[in-house]
Amino acid sequence: MTFLIQQTLIYAVPLMIVALAGVFAERSGIINLALEGIMIFGAFTGVLFVNLTQKAGIFAAAKAADNWVALQGFELLAMLVAAVLGAVFSLLLSFASVNLRADQTIGGTALNLMAPALVLFLIRILANQNTLQMAEGDAASWFMIKKTTLGFDRTADLGFFGNTFLHKVYLATYVCILLFVVLSIILYKTRFGLRLRSCGENPQAADSLGINVYKMRYAGTTISGALAGMGGFVYALTTANCAATGDVAGFGFLALAVMIFGNWKPLNIAGAALLFGLFKCVAASYASIDINGDGVYLLAQIGVSPHFYRMLPYLITLIVLAFTSKKSRAPKAEGIPYDKGQR
């Protein structure tokens, strides 16, 4: 059970934060189809930052001294770098769709094509292979929080909650959850959030009240890019052992589906992300899931093909969308370039 919860969280949290990224863009009126591409780019820049910093030996002393506070700071720094560069990358989308009034679907697709191409081009030159890894060690030994890092004894029993939420976890997961809460509050309880949402519903009315629609849309897309870039790095850190391959296996699109399923509302999105995280977790590690701890690996033993489990998240997405799409209410003005002269 502990394993199941941890694995689900690992998949659900990036989904959640990237889906929130989608919310910020769409609520401001820009369809951010480029989430996948920005995730790929963010994952690459974060891993590259870790790789280069390790090569420069900046945190080598901290690692040798087992100074886990410094190492967690290193992790946060890498997340920040991924977020900043994700935001910069997303400027390509906001420039095209706000200033040039381009077709947002095609612009997003362009970014989705651009990110893996650019990333693989650079990875091949940097690493002479198709994967960029950490320069030394692995994600578990550098960044993972374990019992021993927190000062407990190796044999200490922390109880169910301690075992689940304090042992073998990443700080990044909790930072993402915290950010999710804070940003949701900002979106709903502050003046900025209200203005942002109004630009996605009725930009003409917003403009007539003195809100700068262009600025708001830039803000929405940039926050979106930062979150997606960070989510991409967190995904690479927690599920791919801090390696960038120019691919996040359709995770950005799954996040879009989570966003639509969650009806563009943070609380629903958190629930939807947990559900999808569960399916993704089943798909990735069905063979080692022991649901009630009796040593029986049920999912591996009922004889269903592994290909079916891998297909499941996408299949469920389609089915769930089929049932919920009638009720879903997208921001009214999303996808429509704002034109001041238009009535």
Partner 1 sequence: MKQKLSSLYGRDGTKAVLASLISILIGLAVGSVIILIVGLANPALGLSSAWDGIRLVFGGLVSTGRDAAGSLTFGFNPTNMGNMLFRATPLILTGLSVAVAFKTGLFNIGAPGQYLMGTAATLMIALGIPSETVPAWLIWALAFVGGILAGALWGCLPGLVKAFLNINEVLACIMTNWIAANLVTWMFDGSQFRNVVENTKSGYIYKTSFNGVETAKLGLNKLFPNSQVNGGIVIAVVIAVLVYILMSKTTLGYQLKACGSNRHAARYAGINDKRNIVLSMAIAGGLSGAAAALYYLSGNTEFFWSTYQSLPAIGFNGIPVALLAANNPIAVIFTGCFMSMLDIVGLQLTNLTAYNEYITDVIIATIVYLSAFSLLIRMLLDGRKKRKKAMVAQAGGTNTGAGPSSGAQEGGEQA
Interface positions with partner 1 (CB under 8 A): 26, 31, 33, 92, 96, 100-107, 109-111, 113-114, 116-118, 120-122, 124-125, 247, 249-250, 253, 256-257, 260, 305, 307-308, 310-311, 314-315, 317-318, 321-322, 325-326, 330, 334-336
**Nearest to partner 1 of 59, 286 (CB atom):** 286
CB of 325 to partner 1, least distance (A): 5
Give 107 or 262: the residue with its C-beta nearer to partner 1: 107
Say how many Å lie between the first and final Cα of the chain, rounded.
56
Q: Which are the contacts of 78, defined by CB distance < 8 A and separation ≥ 6? A: 46, 47, 49, 50, 53, 233, 237
Least distance from partner 1 to the Cβ atom of residue 181, Å: 26
Rounded least distance, CB 118 to partner 1, Å: 5
Give me the count of residues in the chain.
Answer: 343
| Shortest reach from residue 209's CB to partner 1, in Å | 25
Q: Which is nearer to partner 1, 109 or 149 (CB)?
A: 109
**Three-class SS of 79-105:** HHHHHHHHHHHHHHHHHHHHHCCCCHH
Nearer to partner 1, 120 or 179 (CB): 120
CA distances from 88 to 38, 40, 75, 118, 228 (A): 10, 13, 20, 15, 11
Q: How far is the CB of 56 from partner 1 (least distance, A)?
A: 16
Output the 3-class SS for 172-235: HHHHHHHHHHHHHHHHHHCHHHHHHHHHHHCHHHHHHCCCCHHHHHHHHHHHHHHHHHHHHHHH
Q: Which H or E run includes 109? A: helix 104-127
CB of 16 to partner 1, least distance (A): 18
* Residue number with CB closer to partner 1 (26 or 75): 26
Q: Which is nearer to partner 1, 128 or 155 (CB)?
A: 128
